[in-house]
Chains A and B, each alone.
Chain A
Amino acid sequence: MRHLLSTRDLERPEAIGLLDVAEDMAAVQEREVKKLPTLRGKTVVNLFFEDSTRTRISFEAAAKRLSADVINFSAKGSSVSKGESLKDTAQTLQAMGADGVVIRHHASGAPQTLATSGWIDAGVVNAGDGTHEHPTQALLDAFTLRRRLHGRASRGRGLDGTRVVIVGDILHSRVARSNVWLLTTLGAEVELVGPPTLMPVDTSAWPARIGYDLDAALDEVPDAVMMLRIQAERMHAAYFPNSREYARIWGLDDARFDRLPPTTMVMHPGPMNRGLEIAARAADSPQSTVREQVANGVSVRMAALYLLLSGERGES
């Protein structure tokens, strides 16, 4: 694997292979000494143009547990905020000998631009770009689903027949996009639910069902419900009237949660708005996978960095 830019272009065997490597990494996490020497001498740069402490520390932990040297480059307070271009930043990292760049950027496509521009030789991992993709989040979600469903027998398996409902701001969600591609590649059925204003205008080419009625979606008893974070600023752009109405119609409140059987997983990529898109009881229930998702995130990111950076660069 040369770069990890999107889940759109992951083939099923490739995706399952990555999840299997993540299983190996998870096994390492259960040992007393959590560190592997695999990436000793390699340098991984966390290039974050957007604040995201959670994602950054997850990648940092992953790289460190593989013994890579980690440099955190936050665009805030650096030359980037003074107008330095992505090109100059990339060439600076190149000159410093970065082997891998984990990039979080507010512009959709920025990781692809970085990977294909010729400015840098490093392997590029997309840690979230604009409203495009967040592939490691989808991989950790798939990993979490697979583990809950199949436990120790997960290796080599996809998510065939698994039914997942993703609820919320699909239009602006890179998590939703990456999950639609990856989960369906792995054989799952995906339904997207939210207000029509927060759906892309044309989803005819998406391998997912679109609905506006959360109760109807829950009546079909899905294997997992993934609640997306609602950004407060959406209210001001007339996407929906206010947070109370949103929570009433599209929130996983106590009444909706109580209707779910204990086998239905409740997922959230975090950080959660408790009381808005998800009630506290649902978030803290045994059905909730929120904390597992965080732990699995490190394993999945270890797997991604391992596949990108170990061995000869440039092989596919």
Chain B
Amino acid sequence: MRESHLITGATLPNGERADILVQNGLIAKVGTVTDAAGATVVDGDGLIALPGLVDLHTHLREPGYEQSETVLTGTQAAAAGGFTAVFAMANTFPVADTAGVVEQEASLGRAAGYATVQPIGAVTVGLKGAELAELGAMARSRANVRVFSDDGFCVSDPLLMRRALEYVKAFDGVIAQHAQEPRLTEGAQMNEGALSGELGLTGWPAVAEESIIARDVLLAEHVGSRLHVCHVSTAGSVEVIRWAKARGIDVTAEVTPHHLLLTEDLVAGYDPRFKVNPPLRRTEDVQALRAALADGTIDIVATDHAPHPVEAKESEWDAAANGMVGLESALAVVHAAVVETGLMGWADVARVLSEAPARIGRLRGHGGALVAGSPAELTLYDPSAASAFDLDRLAGRSTNSPYLGRTLPGAVVATFHSGYPTYLDGVLRPADEVAQRAAEAREDAHG
């Protein structure tokens, strides 16, 4: 008999208060629980209970860039952020463009036990944009890949993009496009506009994103395929996606937490913590992205968690790496951007950070409602724990967070994955304990 947990008096996404009994890897009961002798009690008073968060866009860096992050440390960051599943992007070294690499990533994730690691496969060999990777082999591997992306690079060749969209229909796959016209963004350093002109930084024009999205939704319509757009960052992109959805095109889209909260004004001090691709945009873009998330034009929030070692950010702006860590701060940032502003409620948050990303990625066992009998993947969040976001809140290997020193409105208190806690009372559970619980859970599943 494994340890069971009774969460008392938590608030469900629909606003109801309930006890939640977690037993044998499942949510055993939701409501008023009186028969839970022997269960470890977690005081849920004042906490929001959400289905375990699912990130469709994480960079775990292993294999190849273990100085930035590993599958273990990246999933620890996920657990600290309330995530129970992460989709690992393909830009590792070697690139995740074969069945062998994606199976290795998935198995490292299982062994670590902090979260489900669902690998994303590369669209093209080595992310080079020249020939298709073995999409079918990755789909049929034990890693069961359904999402394919060259993220970091755009599949800019229109013929290759068309073929990729068509080909993955054979196994219900989706192409997640990093929409960035490469010729329009050569040497680009920040959003192109008044500020880039003043700072003398090469501009990354909104049209470089919008033109690729426009092309891709038309291609998806033409071949009847499913398209997902990564990290939408401009008001114009929102308009294109809104048009495509109205037309019935099978497109989904994500926005990052940082594009929902931060603007290009932060670039003015040339602090590379704020250097990210796509770049931070204008206030008008932030407002449009928030509205699009609230009205469903944008389906999900995905972190684009992009760890980098200290030296990659301690430099002049041009030489610094693009990217921000985002797993640990995502929920609090979404809280600040769309809940505190009255645009969305907690049920909407559960949709955009759990249910919809699991559905887009065809990931089983995640994203379901908190009801008896469903897998015990859940997160407890304290929405009244406003505090300065500091290094203690970061659980991954890298510290390139744009929020350090900024006050965020709440904090993750606990995360349960496969029925056991990975993060409890604001503290990460130890790696050996979590690995042990994960092994037991696998035995139960197979026994």
Contact = CB atoms under 8 A, between A and B. Distances in A.
Contact of B193 (A108, A132, A202, A206): A202
A110 interface: yes
B211 to A, nearest CB: 16
A85 B315 contact: yes
A171 B192 CA distance: 12
Contacts of B270: 108-109, 112-113
11 contacts: A85-B315, A86-B319, A106-B318, A108-B270, A108-B318, A109-B270, A110-B318, A113-B317, A133-B200, A174-B200, A201-B192
B198 interface: yes
B124 to A, nearest CB: 27
Interface string B307-332: 00001001111110000000000000
Contacts of B192: 201-202
Interface of B: 189, 192-194, 196-203, 205, 269-270, 311, 314-319
A174 B200 CA distance: 8
Interface of A: 8, 85-87, 105-110, 112-113, 116-117, 129-133, 171, 174, 177, 200-206
Q: Which of B192, B205, B270 has the most CB of A within 10 A?
A: B270
Contacts, number: 76
Nearest to B197: A200
Given A106-B318, A110-B316, A113-B317, 17 more contacts: A8-B198, A87-B311, A107-B318, A107-B319, A108-B318, A109-B270, A110-B318, A113-B270, A130-B200, A130-B318, A131-B202, A132-B199, A171-B197, A200-B197, A201-B197, A202-B197, A204-B194
B315 A108 contact: no
A133 B201 CA distance: 11
A109 B315 contact: no
Contact of A202 (B189, B194, B269, B314): B194
A201 B316 contact: no
Contact of B317 (A107, A133, A174): A107
Nearest to B190: A108
Contacts of A113: 270, 315-317
Contacts of B319: 85-86, 107
A169 B129 CA distance: 34
Contacts of A86: 315-316, 319
Contacts of B199: 108-109, 132
B317 A201 contact: no
A116 B316 CA distance: 11
B183 to A, nearest CB: 10
Contacts of A204: 194
B191 to A, nearest CB: 10
B193 A201 contact: yes
A227 B270 CA distance: 29
Contacts of A108: 189, 199-201, 270, 317-318
B288 to A, nearest CB: 18
A201 B200 contact: no
Given A112-B270, A132-B199, A201 B315 contact: no
A191 B200 CA distance: 19
A73 B202 CA distance: 27
Task: Give the 6 A-B CB pairs with smallest separation, nearest first.
Answer: A200-B197, A132-B200, A109-B270, A131-B200, A107-B318, A108-B200
Contacts of A200: 194, 196-198
Nearest to B202: A131
A109 B196 contact: no
Contacts of A131: 200-202
B202 to A, nearest CB: 8
Contacts of A201: 192-193, 197, 203, 205
A109 B198 contact: no
Contacts of B269: 112, 116
A205 to B, nearest CB: 5
